Chains A and B, each alone.
Chain A
Amino acid sequence: MKHLLSIDDLSVDAIAEIFETAADMHDVQRREVKKLPALRGRTVINMFFEDSTRTRSSFEIAGKWLSADVINISAKGSSASKGESLRDTVLTVCAMGVDGLVIRHPASGAAHQVSQWVDAVVVNAGDGMHEHPTQALLDAYTLQRRLGSLEGRHVVLVGDLTHSRVFRSNVLCLTKLGARVTVVAPPTLMPSGIGPWSAAAGFETSYDLDAVLPDADAVMMLRVQRERMSGGYFPTAREYTVGYGLTRDRLATLKPDAPICHPGPMNRGLEIAADAADAAQSVVLEQVSSGLAVRMSVLYHLLAGEES
């Protein structure tokens, strides 16, 4: 594995290996000295052309705890805002001798495109509406720690599926690990043409959250992207909550040990009620610490060994 662009790049064995190392990295977080020398002398650049708090800081800490030199570039305040093309920005940065490039970009396929231009290892940290592979890995890792093997377990994803890269990567990852996946969305936010994909990949779709929820072994709430609210996908926020929010009433129908995931940032009161976000079965903060362990593992696997 040279880059991490899509969950499709990973075999089941490769995912298992990433999770094993992540478990070892998890232990490092509890130490007083949270630093390993594995990536000493390596340079990793985080290029974020979209706003991000947790993913960017998570990648930054992951790289630093492995002793890599980490530099952050965001679109605001970089030459990109002066009109430089993505290719020129990336080639400029790589001319400085960069080993790893973590990239988030609003255009689907950006990370893949960048990987064609440079020698550096490229990690996709979210490309448009396409994929967000490390998010899916950390979600599956978190669920595995809670549920044991995901084989045959029923995971329900709810929310704005049309615009969600988290959903796409998660479905690929969870089905690969043998989970039974149901995705739930209002008809207007169900991606058009999902039928053939769900049939081929073996997951189910539903418009009825109340029917699906009681059977779920885990539920993953996706963020309603407020910037899409004006798109006419649903009449009002209130209406969305009534149909598809994880409200207090719905929380009562969920199995008491079923983990509740949310990739963040949460819109409390919209897709997830405070009661659910702060419930004992919520793993939202665990996802954050798992994310760090998984990203350390990914950077280690991509950057520590001999150059391929």
Chain B
Amino acid sequence: MADPRIVLDSGDVARALTRISHEILERNKGADDLVLLGLHTRGVPLARRIGERIASVEGTAVAVGELDVTMYRDDLRTQPTRRSHKTEIPPGGIDGKVVVLVDDVLFSGRTIRAALDALADLGRPSAVRLAVLVDRGHRELPIRADHVGKNLPSARSERVSVRLAEVDDLDEVTIA
């Protein structure tokens, strides 16, 4: 396999997140009733960063939480037991809110399918949207992202890796 090629460096990641933040605000016409939910693992710091950017633009804090979809995956039985993570819904809940799911890479769409099921058990948002840092294609379900940092055409066999400072000490997206 070829050496990993950098597709987004830290500056690119920062600019993409800033743009996504503005898109979310534009689409939502402000930060009212907005709840950002990061999907484990790397969607969580991404959601926090988007939340910070929205707060600095709008001047008000936006609700940020984290969602674990482990128990809702459709591939539990075909893999060794996965670790679960914490689900933390902001105090206001998600009923009647606009929930923006945030993840690092959109690939098959199965994680998002699981996230939608998990949301249904937690409440009834008025709308659910999806923001991802990278969309690499190869969907296996009728799911699309509303806000995309970078569309990255890839071969199915290629490996897209997102590294974030909070988890991996640097910001970078590579393909190999």
Contact = CB atoms under 8 A, between A and B. Distances in A.
B106 to A, nearest CB: 22
B157 interface: no
Nearest to B86: A24
B79 A37 contact: no
A305 B81 contact: yes
Interface in B76-98: 76-88
B117 interface: yes
Contacts of A249: none
A150 B121 CA distance: 35
Contacts of B76: 38, 304-305
A189 interface: no
B77 A24 contact: no
A304 B72 CA distance: 11
A23 interface: yes
Given A36-B71, A305-B77, A306-B78, A300 B84 contact: yes
B79 A27 contact: no
A300 B87 contact: no
A35 B78 CA distance: 21
Interface in A30-63: 31-33, 35-38
Interface residues of B, number: 21
Interface string B91-129: 000000000000000000000000001000111000000
A248 B82 CA distance: 47
Contact of B122 (A31, A304, A305): A31
A21 B80 contact: no
B84 A20 contact: yes
Contacts of A300: 71, 81, 84
A239 interface: no
B68 interface: yes
Contact of B80 (A23, A38, A306): A306
B95 to A, nearest CB: 10
Interface in A80-128: none
Nearest to A308: B80
Interface string A271-308: 00000000000000000000000000000110011110
Interface string A62-77: 0000100000000000
Nearest to B72: A37
A17 interface: yes
A66 B117 CA distance: 14
B75 to A, nearest CB: 9
Contact of A36 (B72, B85, B88): B72
Nearest to B73: A38
Nearest to A40: B76
Contact of B83 (A21, A31, A37, A307): A21
Nearest to B88: A27
Nearest to A23: B86
A111 B80 CA distance: 24
A16 to B, nearest CB: 11
A173 to B, nearest CB: 20
Interface of A: 17, 20-21, 23-25, 27, 31-33, 35-38, 66, 300-301, 304-307
Interface of B: 68, 70-72, 76-88, 117, 121-123
Q: Which 3 A-B pairs have the closest CB atoms?
A: A305-B81, A36-B71, A38-B71
Given A36-B72, A37-B117, A305-B81, 20 more contacts: A17-B83, A20-B83, A23-B86, A24-B86, A24-B87, A27-B86, A27-B87, A27-B88, A31-B122, A37-B71, A38-B72, A66-B71, A300-B71, A300-B84, A304-B77, A304-B81, A304-B82, A305-B77, A305-B79, A307-B77
